Amino acid sequence: MDSNTLLGGRYTLSEIIGTGGMSDVYAGTDTLLGRDVAVKMMRPDLARDTTFLERFRREALNAAKLNHHAIVAVYDTGTEEVSGVDVPFIVMERVTGQNLRDLVRADGPLSPQKAAAFLLPVTHALQASHDAGIIHRDIKPANIMVTNTGSVKVMDFGIARALDDSTSAMTQTSAVIGTAQYLSPEQARGKPADARSDIYALGCVMYETVTGVPPFEGESPFAVAYQHVQEDPVPPSERIPNPLTDNEAVNVDSVILTAMAKHPADRYQTATEMGEDLQLLEHGNVTTAARNHLSAAEHDAGAHAVDNTVVVGDAVSGPAPRRREAMANASMETTAPTPTTVAHSQVAGSRSPGMGRPNTITLATLAVRTIAQNASAWCIRRCSARAENTNVNMRESARIGCTTSSVPNANAAA
Could you tell me if 393 and 360 are in contact, meaning their C-beta atoms sit under 8 angstroms apart? yes
- The pLDDT score that the predictor gives to residue 264 is 96
Query: 21-40 burial by CB neighbour count: b if 16+ within 10 A, else e?
Result: ebbbbbbbbbeeeeeebbbb
* Residue 253 a catalytic site member: no
Q: Which helix (H) or strand (E) holds 231?
A: none
Catalytic hit among 30, 138, 198, 300: 138
* Band (305; pLDDT cuts 50, 70, 90): low
Instruction: Using only the alpha carbons of the chain, give its radius of gyration.
Output: 24
Residues 182 and 214 sit within 8 Å (Cβ to Cβ):
yes
d(CA 211, CA 108): 9
3-state class of 140 per DSSP? Answer: coil
pLDDT digit string, tens, across residues 171-223: 333 344 568 899 999 999 989 899 999 999 999 999 999 999 999 999 999 99
Residue 299, H or E segment? helix 288-304
* Of 298, 290, 292, nearest in space to 320 by CA: 292
Q: How does DSSP classify residue 236?
A: G
pLDDT in tens, 112-124: 999 999 999 999 9
**Coil, helix or strand for 161?**
strand
Q: Which residue type, as a one-letter code, is found at position 222?
A: F
Mean residue pLDDT of the chain comes to 75
The angle formed by the CA atoms of residues 140, 236 and 265, to the nearest 5 degrees, is 70
Is the distance from CB of 362 to CB of 384 less than 8 angstroms?
no
Do the bridges between strand 23-30 and strand 161-162 make them parallel or antiparallel, or are there none, so unpaired? unpaired
Instruction: Give the model's pLDDT for residue 48.
Output: 85
178: left (phi over 0), alpha (psi -120 to 50) or beta: left
- Please give the Cα distance from 160 to 93 (Å, whole number): 19
CA distance to 111, 197, 233, 236, 311, per residue, from 216 (Å):
20, 16, 7, 11, 40
Q: Is 97 a residue whose pLDDT tops 50?
A: yes
pLDDT at residue 322 is higher than 90: no
pLDDT of residue 85: 87
Decide: 134 and 185 in contact? Cβ < 8 Å: no
pTM: 0.71
